[in-house]
């Protein structure tokens, strides 16, 4: 079913904050009850799992062949605790200092049942994130300006984004009786031929989830009112083209 497909945004949220991303198989799962499970959400059971590590998808360094962590898992549709032993999973986790065989999930939903689709998505995100030209996280909008053309309905807006690393800029070109064209450049040179980012890529995620809903007034300082209005309109065009970011950041994981 389409609703069962992994959300790119949700998986990127997990993968990009996880020092370790592990493909493994559940070796044992012991139910935790009482006070130690008091903050588990309704409809969830808390377990201490040990998994046999198949592969380290993301992260560096050596891991023991078997690692353990605490996880909250939803009950089965019949209201019973799920059967976890022998389940293949992908876990998004961080190490516990001084305890090499103990991990902590980065979020409550940071253990996912393995599937080929999820495996491909996770590997794609991690591969993009460690490449030399990986788009950095956005930190804000530097400035924006609109230059009208020589005929009515013609013009160009450029928006320069601030990031944690390399610059990113957005260009929007308008021509009479034509659909607006926009492109994203990831570098010092503005390239109007670059085109918009493909959906479900790291650049799309950075923009869809990192851009504010509206162009800040400070970014338009010194612009004529008509040019500022055109820049705001072009910015909203880009936001609409990108679509919604998706799921919200995941809930904090249980401590273990």
Residues with Cβ within 8 Å of residue 13, at least 6 apart in sequence: 107, 247, 249, 250
Handedness of CA 216, 230, 236, 135 (dihedral sign): negative
Residues with Cβ within 8 Å of residue 60, at least 6 apart in sequence: none
Which CATH architecture is the domain 2-129 placed in? Beta Barrel (2.40)
Angstrom distance (rounded) from CA 17 to CA 193:
32
pLDDT at 1 over 60: no
Q: What are phi and psi of 49, to 5 degrees?
A: -105, 150
- DSSP 3-state percent helix, strand, coil across the chain (nearest 5): 25, 35, 40
pLDDT at 246 over 90: no
pLDDT tens digit string along 69-126? 999 999 988 888 889 999 999 999 999 999 999 999 999 999 999 999 999 999 999 9
Q: What are phi and psi of 124, to 5 degrees?
A: -65, -45
Angstrom distance (rounded) from CA 24 to CA 55:
7
pLDDT, mean of residues 122-138: 94
Nearest to 217 by CA among 149, 165, 143, 163: 143
160: its two tokens: 């320069």
For the chain, report the end-to-end CA distance as a whole number of angstroms. 34
Q: Which of the two residues, 202 and 251, has the higher pLDDT score? A: 202
Nearest to 137 by CA among 184, 199, 203, 206: 206
Domain limits, the chain: 2-129, 138-242
> Strand (E) positions, 164-244?
168-174, 181-185
Nearest to 252 by CA among 44, 105, 111, 113: 105
Q: Which of the two residues, 246 and 204, has the higher pLDDT score? A: 204
Angstrom distance (rounded) from CA 192 to CA 242:
17
What percent of the chain lies above the pLDDT cut of 90?
A: 82
């Amino acid at each position: 079913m389409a609703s069962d497909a992994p959300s790119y945004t949700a998986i990127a949220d997990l993968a990009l904050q996880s020092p370790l991303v592990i493909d493994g198989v559940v070796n044992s799962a012991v139910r935790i009850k009482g006070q130690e499970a008091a903050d588990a959400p309704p409809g969830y059971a808390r377990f201490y799992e040990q998994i046999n590590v198949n592969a380290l998808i993301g992260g560096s360094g050596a891991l023991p062949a078997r690692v353990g962590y605490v996880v909250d898992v939803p009950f089965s549709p019949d209201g019973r605790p799920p059967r976890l032993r022998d389940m293949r999973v992908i876990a998004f986790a961080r190490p516990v200092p001084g305890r090499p065989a103990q991990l902590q999930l980065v979020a409550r939903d940071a253990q996912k049942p393995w599937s080929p689709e999820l495996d491909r998505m996770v590997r794609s995100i991690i591969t993009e994130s460690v490449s030399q030209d990986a788009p950095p996280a956005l930190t804000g909008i530097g400035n924006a300006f609109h230059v009208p053309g020589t005929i009515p309905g013609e013009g160009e807006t450029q928006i320069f984004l601030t990031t944690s690393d390399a610059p990113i800029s957005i260009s929007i070109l308008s021509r009479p009786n034509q659909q607006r064209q926009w492109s994203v450049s990831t570098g010092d040179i503005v390239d109007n031929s670059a085109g918009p980012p493909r959906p479900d890529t790291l650049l799309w995620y950075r923009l869809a989830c990192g851009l504010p809903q509206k162009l800040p007034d400070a970014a338009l300082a010194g612009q004529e009112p008509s040019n500022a209005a055109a820049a705001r309109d072009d910015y909203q065009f880009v936001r609409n083209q990108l679509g919604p970011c998706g799921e919200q950041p995941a809930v904090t994981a249980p401590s273990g």
